[in-house]
Amino acid sequence: FFFLMIRRPPRSTQSRSSAASDVYKRQGINAEYMGKLDTKNLVKNFVNSFENFLRSSKGKALFIDKHNFTEERHQNVLKSLQQITFKSFYNRNLLRELMQDDLVNQSFQIYLKYYCFNWIVHSTIIKDKKAHMRARRNFLYVSQHWKEVEDFDWNFKYTFV
């Protein structure tokens, strides 16, 4: 009996994503393609973080106490966000839908302005914190100037990230 051992690539850390990144590098996968994947992950990271924060007892309390949300308004934001994320991929179209919903947009602005920074700084899963900080700044700008940005018809790539 002979056993065939399949050698895994060495891991610099224990995280799966870094191992996958090492494999991509060894396989010569295009850096531009990897950049697109990272950008889609940026959108997904922000939206998931926003939703998790809203669902947390701390986030709920902060929105109700500091930002004059009612319990009903908080629940409406969660429902709208769930409807938006359920039917869409995590990309600029999802961001557009998120911005078009005034209630979700206002809540997203509050999150980006006051709470998102701590998530980025203290997150153990975010590898490129600079890109997330840039994206935070740009997402905040887009959400605050939605009507102006909407006129551009979103025909830009992710260069705003």
User: pLDDT > 70: what percent of the chain?
Assistant: 66
Classify residue 106 as exposed, middle or buried by CB count within 10 Å of its CB (0-12, 13-18, 19+).
middle
CB 112 within 8 A of CB 143: yes
DSSP one-letter code for 88: S
Confidence at residue 95, expressed as pLDDT on a 0 to 100 scale: 81
- Give residue 97's pLDDT: 85
Structure tokens that stand for 33 in this block:
């393609």
Q: Which pTM was predicted?
A: 0.67
**How many CB atoms sit inside 10 A of residue 49's CB?**
19
- What number is the average pLDDT over the span 45-69? 89
